[in-house]
Amino acid sequence: MPAVVGTLRLHEWAIDRDTAFMAIDFSLSPELEAIRTKTRDFIQTVVKPIEDAMDESDRKQLIDGIIKMRTEAQRQGLWLPHMPEEWGGMGLGHVELAMVQAEAAKARFGPFAINAQAPDEGNMHTLLHWATEDQKQKYLKPLCEGTARSCFAMTEPEVAGSDPTLIRTNAYQDGDEWVINGHKWFISQARSSKFAILLCRTEEQPEIKQAANSAFIIDLPTDGWNDVREIETMHGGTGHSEIVITDLRVHDSQMLGGRGQGHLLGQYRLGPARLAHCMRWISQAELALDMMVDRSLNRYSHGSLLAEKQGIQWMIADSAIELYQAKLMVLHAAYKIDRKEDFKSEVSMTKHFVANALNRIIDRSIQVHGALGYSTDTPLAHMFQHARWARFADGADEIHMMRTAERTIAAYKDSGSTQAATGGLPI
Ligand SMILES: Cc1cc2nc3c(=O)[nH]c(=O)nc-3n(C[C@H](O)[C@H](O)[C@H](O)COP(=O)(O)OP(=O)(O)OC[C@H]3O[C@@H](n4cnc5c(N)ncnc54)[C@H](O)[C@@H]3O)c2cc1C
């Protein structure tokens, strides 16, 4: 498979001199259309049937089911869409990835089946960019092969996770080792991980507060890493651990990136990882809208179908408009990442918008379903509970709003126009 199989041709801004007509081509290359269709078929014919047949509470059934999906995904070349070919991946750019992720997320285990699930996906990007060759062989390789899982340990209960410069988990140097003490929580899949990327404070008086932290790769399990509980959340106990770290010793060679670069590494990780979440959320929003329309076409009340009532049509229209915006924003942010342009602003606005649109669309779908939507007979209740975290994790709504306002004001001060802060688009 070629390294880059095709992309939305957003870059082909062609000006026809005679008509002054500006064309933007949103069509997919045949190669990319083939990958999208293949992913869709794989989800429908392999993942969904296994998912529907298995009892997730039975660990053996769960593991067997995932192995079956993954074996077939590898056989079909639908494996690691986000990784370069030399690491066994499909070598897709972010625009292309958006198609594959959105298709994969139509099933709960879809991203898992193609080995593109959080937080491993973000950790793979991080290791690819920051790890030494030895670290890549030891940690990235098994992740890519699907024989290991990993976690990312940043958030702490005592300080605002939104501001990682406040991290208190502390590491001090003792010869060629570091000694770590601290407290983390909401560390997803910690119990099934072979290693953690752990952020700690290593610098007491950094020149700037963003240079206080460093990252370490911690082999798990290990002395001093105490997984005290899995936190029960509003959508059940889903593998987010609270960790008490006591005199954990780690060799200096386990540092990931340079000393004081932990904050930078976290920010680097979050850009593409935030967008990957948005790609998956689009699928969930689309499913909720499909269900909303289907229900409205089948439910009859006060003399007509729900679909014929203006109040319901407005909910459908609002949702369709928001989903359209969400897709365009994701594609444009992905396009900026692919072109190595500064994407911070676009990813931030996109994450904020898609997270909120997702919550609103699922909520409307529940409304149209009435009691059925509130029940667990449809996936909507589970989707609603799951979607709520999107508005504060990976950057809370308010932080993205704050940064967006800062960038907009700065753009105006710099150039007398806010244009650069609204995607820099040529309109
Ligand atoms: C399902 C799930 C999985 C997670 N997985 C992981 C994981 O694997 N690893 C990990 O390290 N963490 C993980 N987290 C934690 C997540 O990263 C944090 O919840 C997030 O960073 C927010 O931090 P916090 O919860 O401490 O909230 P806080 O930082 O305390 O913020 C709470 C609220 O305060 C407001 N706020 C904060 N700062 C500002 C500001 N500057 N201006 C205005 N308002 C503000 C916002 O409304 C925000 O929602 C996970 C969380 C969830 C729910």
- Pocket of ligand 1, candidates 155, 163, 185: which has the most ligand atoms within 8 Å of its Cβ, to mutate? 155
Work out which ligand 1 atom sits closest to the CA atom of 395.
21
Do 252 and 354 reside in the same domain of the chain?
A: no
Whether the model clears a pTM of 0.85, i.e. scores above it, the answer is yes
Instruction: Kindly report the protein residue whose alpha carbon is nearest to atom 40 of ligand 1.
Output: 399
Q: How far is CA 189 from CA 166, 196, 320, 325, 340, in A?
A: 24, 10, 34, 32, 31
Whether residue 349 contacts residue 404, with contact meaning beta carbons closer than 8 Å, is answered with yes
The token pair at 279 is 């790609």
Is 125 a member of any domain? no
CB within 8 Å of 413: residues ≥ 6 apart: none
Instruction: Return the CATH number at 175.
Output: 2.40.110.10
Final residue belonging to a domain, choices 260, 275, 291 = 260
Give me ligand 1 centre to Cα 240, in Å. Answer: 13
Reduced to 3 states (helix: H, G, I; strand: E, B; else coil), residue 217 is: strand
Pair (246, 298) in one structural domain: no
3-state secondary structure of 76: coil
Report the pocket of ligand 1 as residue ranges, CB < 6 Å.
119, 151-155, 160-162, 186-188, 240, 389, 392-393, 396, 398-399, 402
Residue 63 has pLDDT above 50, yes or no: yes
Answer for the pair 13, 22: CB distance below 8 angstroms, yes or no. Answer: yes
Helix (H), strand (E) at residue 229: strand 225-233
Query: What does the pLDDT read at residue 169?
Result: 98
Q: How far is the CA of 155 from the centre of ligand 1 (A)?
A: 8
Tell me which residue has its CA closest to atom 18 in ligand 1.
393
Considering the domain boundaries, does residue 132 fall inside one? Answer: no
Looking at residue 2, what is its pLDDT? 39
Number of domains the chain is built from: 3
| Residues 332 and 404 both lie in one domain | yes
Express each pLDDT in 87-134 by its tens digit: 999 999 998 998 899 999 999 899 999 999 989 999 999 999 999 999
156 shares a domain with 94: no
Q: What is the pLDDT of residues 176-205, one digit of tens each?
A: 999 999 999 999 999 999 999 999 999 999
Q: Is residue 229 located within the same domain as residue 273?
A: no
* pLDDT per position as a tens digit, 225-264: 999 999 999 988 779 999 999 999 999 999 999 999 999 9
Residue closest by Cα to atom 26 of ligand 1: 161
Domain carrying residue 296: 267-421
Q: Are residues 239 and 305 in the same domain?
A: no
134 within a domain of the structure (yes/no): no
Give a yes or no: residue 129 inside a domain: no
Distance from the CA of 331 to the center of ligand 1, in angstroms? 26
In a domain, 409, yes or no: yes
